[in-house]
Every structure is written in structure tokens, then in C-alpha cells.
Homo-oligomer: A and B are copies of this chain.
Amino acid sequence: MPEEDPVRDAGGPDGCGRDGRGAASSEAAPPGRSGADCQVRFLPVEQTVQVAAGATIEDALVAAGLRMPLPCGGQGRCGRCVVEVRAGEVRRRSVVRLTEEELARGCALACQTAIEGDAVVWVPPVEERFERFERGDRAEKAASELPVCPGTAVPWVVALPLDLPAPSLSDNMADLERVQTGLARQHGMQDVIPTLTALADLPQSLRDGEWQVTAVVEQGNGVDLEAPRRLLAVVPGAPPVRTWGAAIDIGTTTVAVYLGDLATSRLIDQASAYNGQIACGEDVISRIMYGRRPERRLELQERVVQTINGLLDRLLERQGGAPDDVKVSVVAGNTTMTHLFLGLQADFIRLEPYVPAAAWFSPQPAARLGLHLHPEALVDCLPAVGAYVGGDITAGVLRAGFHQEDPVTLFLDVGTNGEMVLGNSEWLLTCACSAGPAFEGAGVASGMRAVDGAIEEVWIDPHTFEPTVSTLGDVAARGICGSGMISLLSELRATGLIDKSGRMVAHDRADRVRAGDAGLEYVVARAEDADGRDVVLTETDIQNLLRAKAAIYAGAAVLCDSVGLAVTDVERVLIGGAFGRHIDVQKAIAIGLLPDLPWEAFSYLGNTSVQGAYLALTCREYRRQIDELAAKMTYLELSADNRFMDEFTSALFIPHTDLSLFPSVSASPPDAPKEGVDGL
């Protein structure tokens, strides 16, 4: 049975929900005024709603049609849904993350606060960091840098010209049979099964083309040329018929689409956007929690489909195409994202013993999933290995290519989750280390994603302790993104402002270090230099970051240990995922996030998930290899592994308890020249 969350279940819908009727169950109603209606007036929007006593403020927000982001899925953990109760009776079930000052002001967590009488509630504007953000479609590695299909070049979908005899009374076979006969005689293609879409208007197409037509045929299932072929469309005449395909990477944070031409394997265009599910939780656990009720599971599915469709629409508009042009798609996502995309129950992914509904998914027609593709286009979700190693990783390994090479390679995909694969052509070992989204900005006071205004690099003067920062987009700083955090941590340690356990040292010369609500904090940018608010790193933030980096390092150490290797035996480290892009490898080593290997051993590959999906889309040999890979990979469940906890504890220091593992760090002077990763 699934673990239940009585607060959420009693409290009803939340700010992200469609199911908010504003009425709480009687179980949650307070003793005094059970079931009675309360009037809640929201400011500054000036909206008033009636809800039953006992409903949460969130219920009331939903009833009023107002939206409130819920990064933790309404569990009362993230402290993001803060509102101010200006008047009226409420009961706070939890005040986690609220300061004394905030409580004194009347602040409350919308998801954790029950309404017990008429109330006036002030709702602050939604923070920009949670708003949907369209990336600037930055260029990924050019397609020419991707590996070349090693197998048959026969594309998944082909357009074939047909020259058919016109029917007569003595030759009046059905139109479909005529097309099938033509395909067999003119292209040696037997037993092509018609789709209903192709069949519906086949008669008019044949006659409009005066029996010269172009048949669009899906050849096999992407892996096997001998699998049943399907007739997707019949177009009059012999026009250039587009056989495009879409490779879709569903990340917890970001969704990316590559649009490619199946006939030539040419990458036509690409786009990415934030996953529309973010408002329902920032990490996979929060999403799973959010989606426990069927109507919310449906909502999550609709949200990601909407995100994908927005990207497809944008790409097609830009390229002058139409949904019908896209004849097949390959989807890579972590196991939870793939479940939510397909509408599958994901609850047991988060509960021991961490079991997904499926690790292999049968392809579905696009129309069934509501994607803006040709209605009969197959949507092929790449296979997962386990609950926390999904199709994004099998795609990533394919892209990285070390499954066919000799050197022992560590592949890291540090996005919202932290997955890694160790191996070579003989064996593959994988694990997920629950690093959490700290490097993406969650759990860090001034954390944010890598968008304009994010501090991506920091240098601290070892004498004055004054920082110099570089921000994305060269605008005023609004927060710190993952690469900035690594850079900052490394500088704080190098200048001695923090000790090896991450504790801040209130240096008498460092007026940037001050006491804040959560202990000491370092002011990276003052309000006047930033976007009107101090950008800080607190001791709590540092502990969160250390936990994330320790989990990643410990994961790698356990993988190595499982095959009798030391971390330093790794010959090559390949990094994928959005987070990897801006990492300064030497600083990452300095804080003990990456193993201490020569910088030539590191390569950054970009979004390996979407690239792997694209390779599978355009090359059936690659598609086949992914099935093979997924079956071959051994999944190590770290939560069941005592070694992991030991390694994790040892890695909670900067860089590590065992300094012999980081010879270059102890030897490195604070202000040694920094080198970027190859290819950045």
C-alpha cells in the first residue's frame, strides 16, 4: 500500500490543482465551526471566495482561480507557498522555513494552513524563478558532431512513389489492395498494414493523383525491418513528402525537442522549454506526490504534453511545417517523467523497494497521447533500467558511445537527479544518487536556474574577500545557478572563508560575511549591485550543496568499488545534462564533486538524452543498441547499499575526508589558473 499523506489528502486540492472545489473533508474541519462557510478575501487582487471551514488557504486560492506554485507538491517542505494572513482565524499545521519575523507578520504556508473563519489574505506575486521560461533555443553541439549511424541507412519512415493502373470493371480491386500490390511490385514491400488515417481519404488521394501517388510507409518498429509495416499516408502525385521525426527529451526541469529529417538524418531545428509540470513540484518525488490522485495524474500528463506541443508548434512554425510532416518520434525521459507522460501510476517509484510500473514501453500513436504530430506517428519511449535510471540514461549512454569502447568510463548526467553509469564495452553498471535539485537552485536561498541574471562564476579576492562575479546575460545578478555555486564554494574554501566541513569563518577582514536568519552567510552581491535584493550563500545552503555533491561522489565511488576499482582508476569522465554545461571542472574537483583526474579525462557532451533519442530516431541500429544497452545495464540500488552511506559521510567534507583521493586539490594554490572543460 502507498504511504499516505494525511494532511494533503484531508486538505484537498492545491494551487496547482484542477480539482479544487474549496471544500475540505469534515475530517480536517476544526472543532469550533465545522463545515460552516468562511469568506476569504485575497489581496492585492481583491477577490473573495466562500470555502468550508477547515479548507486550506490553498483550497481557497484554487477556488478563487488563483495559482500558487508548489515545488514540493504541497507537502509543506519547501516553504514556497508563503502568504500573509492580514486578518481572520487560521490554524497553521506547519510553519517549516518560516522565520520568527515572518510569523510575526502573519505569514503562513498556504498548503499547511486551515481556514477557521472569515479571513483576509495577502498573496505575494509569484516569484519569477517558478514561471515558465522559454530558453533561447541555444545551439547544441552541431549534428555533424554526433556519431554517424553504423548500421543500415534505411530510414524508419519512407515516402515511395507509386504508379498504379487505373481501375476498370474488369480490375476493380479495392483501393487499398491496389496500393498494396503497387508497394509489393514496385518496392518489394509486402504486407503493409493500413492505418485508419491513411485509409480514410485514400480513394480521393488516388483519384486526385490520377493513380500516381506517394505512399508514406513506416518500415518496421524502428528496431526490426521485418516487423509489420504500416501505411501512414497516401499523397496525390509525386510531391516532396516530408518524413520528419521528433526526438523529445522530457527532463524534470527542461523539455528539449530535436526536429530531424528521417530521409537525410539532417537535424532541422531544436527548441527547449521548462517542463510545465514544474508548478506541481520541482523534483520527481514532489511530482509523484502531487500525482497520486487520478485527476492530478491526468493534469501532470496534460501539462507535459502541452509543453511538448508548444515546442513542436514553435519548431514547425519556424520551419514552415505541419504536424502531419512529423511521422515518428522517440522520447527519452527519466522513469518518472516517462510514467507521467504516458499517464502511468508512478507512486511506487518513490517507495521502497522502488518499483516502476514498467521499464519498457510499447509505442503509442501520437493521437492517443495528444501530441501535435501526424496522428498515426508512433511515439516510442526509450526503455528504462530501473526506478531512477530511465530512458534519458540509456539514450545518454548510446550518445556517449563508451558501451562500445575499451576505456573504463564514468558517465554522469547531473540534472535534477544525479544518475551515472560506469563501464565499457564489456559491462555497464548504473545507479542514481538522489543528489536532489540543489545545483538547480532548490534548497538554496538565492539559488536559481541557469537563466539570465544567474551568477555563473565567482572569484574571491584572498585578501579583501571581495567577490567578482559573472552573470548570465550580463545583467544584474538575481541569484546563483549551479555552476556559480560550485565556483563560489570552491572560492570560499580556497580563501579560507569556510572550513572543510563547510562552516563559515567570520573573518574580521571579511565584511561580506554576516549573521543572517539561518546562521552566517556570505553576501555574493549586495542589493544595490544586484536586482534589488542581496544575493547570499548561507551555511544551510552550503550544507545542502555538500549533501548533493557528496551523493554524486559517493555514487561514483560505490560503482567503482562494485567492480573492484578505485575512483582514480576511471579513465574517462563524460558529462551530460544541462548542469554540466558550465561546470568549471577544476573547481568541481576542488569541492570534491568530481573525482580528481587530469582535466583531459573530462568531456562535456551536452544534452545526451535528446541527442541519444535523436540517434535512435534516425538510425535503427542505434535504436536496437538502446534496447540491448538497457537489458545489459546492472542497476545498483544505493539505498540498499551500506557502502553508499559510508562513502556519503566521507564525502560531506571539502573536498573529502580522505585527502589522498584529491592530490591536486591539496597541492593547488588558491589562485592557480583555471582551465575549462574541453569543448566548452
Chain A interfacial positions (CB closer than 8 Å to B): 1-2, 167-177, 193-196, 199-204, 207, 342-345, 347-348, 352-362, 364, 368, 384, 386-387, 637, 639-640
Chain B residue nearest to A640 in the complex (CB)? B169
- Contact between A355 and B173 (Cβ–Cβ < 8 Å)? yes
The answer to whether B167 and A355 have CB atoms under 8 Å apart is yes
Main secondary structure of the interface of A (DSSP, over half): loop
Assembly CA distance A362 to B231 (angstroms): 11
5 closest A-B pairs by CB: A176-B358, A169-B640, A174-B359, A172-B353, A169-B353
Are A345's CB and B200's CB within 8 A?
A: yes
Distance between Cα atoms of A352 and B637 in the complex (Å): 68
Q: A2 vs B201: C-alpha distance in the bound complex, in angstroms?
A: 13
CB distance from A304 to the nearest CB of B (A): 15
Q: Copies per complex?
A: 2
Partner of A172, one of B2, B199, B345, B386: B386
| A345 contact set on B, CB distance < 8 A | 200-204
A384 and B354 CA atoms in complex are apart in Å by 51
Contact indicator A207/B348 (Cβ below 8 Å): yes
Query: Within the assembled complex, what's the spacing in Å between the Cα atoms of A535 and B177?
Result: 49
Contact assessment for A203 and B172 in the assembled complex, using a CB-CB cutoff below 8 Å: no
Contact of B172 with A357 in the complex, beta carbons under 8 Å: no
**Given A342-B196, A360-B177, CB of A354 within 8 Å of CB of B172:** yes
Q: Given B1, B342, B637, which contacts A207 in the complex, CB threshold below 8 Å?
A: B1
B637 in contact with A169 (CB, 8 Å): yes
Query: 5 interchain pairs (CB within 8 A)?
Result: A169-B639, A176-B360, A177-B358, A196-B343, A203-B348
Assess A356 versus B196: contact at CB under 8 Å? Given A203-B347, A640-B170.
no
Q: A344 to chain B: which residues have CB within 8 Å?
A: 196, 199-200, 202-203
For the complex formed, measure the closest distance between the CB of A133 and the CB atoms of chain B, giving whole angstroms. Answer: 31
Further 16 A-B residue pairs, CB within 8 A, beyond A175-B356, A199-B358:
A169-B640, A171-B353, A172-B354, A174-B384, A175-B348, A176-B360, A177-B359, A195-B362, A196-B344, A200-B342, A200-B344, A202-B344, A202-B345, A203-B347, A204-B347, A368-B368
Query: What's the Cα separation between A360 and B202 when bound, in Å?
Result: 14
Q: Closest residue of chain B to A383, judged by CB?
A: B174
- CB of A357 within 8 A of CB of B169, answer no
**Whole-angstrom distance from the CB of A160 to the nearest CB of chain B?**
19
